[in-house]
Structure 1
């Protein structure tokens, strides 16, 4: 066997993930709010990016139309640039800056601000600071600080007394003060105590109600006859007390805000029906319209300082790619939304029953892109339709393979409608629901019916029965 060196030519294909391509992929999967934050961050890092004030902005369009494909090279600063940036600045419209006169009444502005709802702890602390409590202030603050998000106290009184080094009776007094604050039910150790603290909210309740609270487990299991026998009342009276109990709040702390719990949904796409036709709008008003800062055209004309020109050209390249990526995101979102409207038009006009089975591959083939592109374009994004606001993935409904292409959402809606019209004294069993759905050409098993019923939060036949 001969060992030696040789020189061979070989032609291969490979995908190179350039920084520009990675940026385009990242921009595509951002929601409107996330894209707005991303653009703000890029503006801090790139001094050539500037906001175009005019919403009709020809400057933005020119920045996108006049930007040719930029070559992908390892060192863009040393490459030959196809774009004449000086001509670009000459054709770009001059920026118009509106000066703000604080003394002029017609130009008077108000700074926007955000007022957050108080948390449960803040609401309770405000009350104990106003009233003069018989327990030490620091003890009350310690108990309030240990309440969970539902308003319950997970610690025992003995643990608080040991950790805080206070007498047990003093801790009991402090907890009683907390339980008397608004809203009633906070500071409870369990569900029974929480509901018992809220009994004063009921104007008139049967004398058996305090004893009825001792049978919550039997109530949850639907054993109304057993409760009636132990309380020596009729099942109808037990049912009435159960209905009265449902008017109370089992989690009083949930009505207050918590850190990071508020989530604003801004739809990325808006679909409106105008004169029988659906119009698609890309909702990117929160994203600043980007252009190139005019003040840097002087730096391009100075050939003496090559380092300065090289820096400006690098930033121009990055700015142009960002503008291009944002425009590509807008175009891809529009294509995906347009394909969804054509596929789900019956749903948009007539409701959930007409939602058709759909997957990412169908949309990808229709608009001529890869399936992963559709996945990124629809990830964590919402669309506003005449039927409400839905997440994009809602439209990619799973079919059950029936002849009419029925989706799971349509079957759940039909199941909900059937249960809503049943006789509460003789509710339908899961087997009966299966037979009724079969008559509607929805052939699913009894086990699937039980699964969908649980997902809809509908209790079993025993718990739905009314006396």
Structure 2
């Protein structure tokens, strides 16, 4: 066989994802609010895209809504061929069943103008207009803990004392505790240690009471002094908080030299104090979660709808396209205009396919977990992504993208779609499995109803759960209990004993 260069022609097949298909898959994993930001960016780049208003209003001349056009034949070619022909709407970027009924946004969410989307739960069924003033935006920002302390320091101190106070206040964490080493601070500022201690004593008198403390016992002692309850007995109690945490009340009574009644009063006094006084000035606020889906019961069953309040109505202005196309153009401008039309067609189609896919996945979740929506978390069943994917004829990765970062609102509350996918434990009767969330719900209910005089051990919980048809091991009960932040039987016995003493 001769060695040398030569040319060969080979035919092969490979799966290639076009940029448009990658974009469509990316859209699946985005929430409605992220989609809104993505569409806003596309509106700035593409002059052929516009946002529409109410569906009841007549469309402007030349503006075409994608759902108003007749369906195009899917066999016209590949994605790239369709885009080149301006027929990007005919391709199927996702594994969506085109035989299914077309999703139409004609539910309550489409007719509501409230900020929360569909299903107005307010009294009287009223809703707020989208352009209503946001009165929260007029509120002045709350002062931070450091600003609040510095205002007091400027009023009480001056000169070098104010410099020391500024240094100390800058090292107070958000809970109100001082993290600085006083000796190091004195060396850094070149001042005597007693001056730093004296300024710290002034800070201890600032509002909120207990700020600037270096330990929990010092924080509570400052508040006890403010309430004029800091006597030798209280001082000994604060010096032995570890014994109080362990519930060693007889030992504490001997150390403090008090009887049971006085000890109960002292514990009740401690419970009234704030262990983290600085947190009341915390500016961090929990961001509200906007649901992507609404589920509500109807006479015929269950209704599922997309929260259209967070989704802009995307339109293609074809009259503007015709106007631009009929004007003078060179090769570059003509290619740019064709690319804008193809991109707009594809984006509208991808968003439509995204809605259909989300509805399809949510419908199957509702079908699988209908007992949860009717009866509660105790009836939640084990469910996997593969089970949903096989039922609706999609790939498991597609279901995973659909359920990520999306929330469902129903009469029982607001849940992430991932919440409905949970592992399970075997049932004692051999008739299937029980969801891990359902087991946690039963454990929480049993512990919440336990008698303070008869605390349930993990072994007792195992027996009670097996009586309910849940075959679960003791270590699993302990794992679920710790995951919910519930202490052991010994810890709960001590906590309830302390609560009884304080009461």
Output the TM-score relative to the length of structure 1: 0.83
Q: What do residues 128-169 of structure 1 show as CA deviations (whole Å, max 9, x unaligned)? A: 45x443674444333333222322221112232233444433
Match of 1:274 in 2: 298
Q: Are 1:316 and 2:344 matched, yes or no?
A: no
Equivalences for 1:29-428 in 2 at 5 Å?
29-56=29-56, 62-64=65-67, 66=69, 72-73=79-80, 79-82=84-87, 110=133, 114=137, 115=139, 116-128=141-153, 131-133=155-157, 136-199=161-224, 208-234=233-259, 238=263, 241-258=266-283, 262-275=286-299, 277-293=301-317, 294-302=319-327, 304-402=329-427, 403=430, 404-428=432-456
> Among 461, 468, 487, which residue is 1:433 paired with?
461
Q: What do residues 330-366 of structure 1 show as CA deviations (whole Å, max 9, x unaligned)? A: 1111111111111111111111110111111111112
Structure 2 Cα separation of the partners of residues 250 and 442 of structure 1: 40
Structure 2 Cα separation of the partners of residues 236 and 462 of structure 1: 23
Does the 8 Å CA contact 1:64/1:323 hold for their aligned counterparts? no
Does the 8 Å CA contact 2:423/2:436 hold for their aligned counterparts? yes
Deviation, 1:374, is 0.8
Say which SS state the counterpart of residue 405 (structure 2) adopts. Answer: coil
Structure 2 Cα separation of the partners of residues 15 and 57 of structure 1: 44
Does the 8 Å CA contact 2:43/2:50 hold for their aligned counterparts? yes
Say which SS state the counterpart of residue 174 (structure 1) adopts. Answer: helix
Task: Check 1:26–1:176 CA distance in 2 against 1; reply closer, same or farther (3 A cut).
Answer: farther
Task: Check 1:442–1:110 CA distance in 2 against 1; reply closer, same or farther (3 A cut).
Answer: closer
Deviation, 1:237, is 5.5
Deviation, 1:443, is 2.2
Gaps in structure 2 of 5+ consecutive residues: 90-130
Task: Check 1:145–1:272 CA distance in 2 against 1; reply closer, same or farther (3 A cut).
Answer: farther
Task: Check 1:48–1:200 CA distance in 2 against 1; reply closer, same or farther (3 A cut).
Answer: farther
Gaps in structure 1 of 5+ consecutive residues: 85-107
Structure 2 Cα separation of the partners of residues 205 and 176 of structure 1: 16
Structure 2 Cα separation of the partners of residues 53 and 127 of structure 1: 53
Task: Check 1:413–1:15 CA distance in 2 against 1; reply closer, same or farther (3 A cut).
Answer: same
Match of 1:17 in 2: 17
Task: Check 1:138–1:458 CA distance in 2 against 1; reply closer, same or farther (3 A cut).
Answer: same
Does the 8 Å CA contact 1:270/1:282 hold for their aligned counterparts? yes
Structure 2 Cα separation of the partners of residues 202 and 435 of structure 1: 49
Task: Check 1:234–1:418 CA distance in 2 against 1; reply closer, same or farther (3 A cut).
Answer: farther
| 319-328 or 49-58: bigger deviation | 49-58
Does the 8 Å CA contact 2:236/2:255 hold for their aligned counterparts? no
Does the 8 Å CA contact 1:28/1:325 hold for their aligned counterparts? no
| 397-406 or 50-59: bigger deviation | 50-59
Structure 1 Cα separation of the partners of residues 259 and 134 of structure 2: 63
CA RMSD in angstroms, aligned pairs only: 3.2
Deviation, 1:379, is 0.8
| 373-382 or 402-411: bigger deviation | 402-411
Structure 1 Cα separation of the partners of residues 491 and 88 of structure 2: 73
Structure 2 Cα separation of the partners of residues 180 and 63 of structure 1: 67
Structure 2 Cα separation of the partners of residues 229 and 222 of structure 1: 14
Structure 2 Cα separation of the partners of residues 270 and 201 of structure 1: 51
Say which SS state the counterpart of residue 239 (structure 2) adopts. Answer: helix
Does the 8 Å CA contact 2:203/2:212 hold for their aligned counterparts? yes
Task: Check 1:351–1:142 CA distance in 2 against 1; reply closer, same or farther (3 A cut).
Answer: same
Match of 1:463 in 2: 491
Structure 2 Cα separation of the partners of residues 296 and 169 of structure 1: 79
Does the 8 Å CA contact 1:185/1:194 hold for their aligned counterparts? yes
Deviation, 1:239, is 5.5
Say which SS state the counterpart of residue 285 (structure 1) adopts. Answer: helix
Structure 1 Cα separation of the partners of residues 455 and 234 of structure 2: 27
Task: Check 1:334–1:234 CA distance in 2 against 1; reply closer, same or farther (3 A cut).
Answer: farther
Structure 2 Cα separation of the partners of residues 426 and 309 of structure 1: 82
Does the 8 Å CA contact 1:64/1:324 hold for their aligned counterparts? no
Output the TM-score relative to the length of structure 2: 0.77
Does the 8 Å CA contact 1:64/1:320 hold for their aligned counterparts? no
Task: Check 1:400–1:206 CA distance in 2 against 1; reply closer, same or farther (3 A cut).
Answer: farther
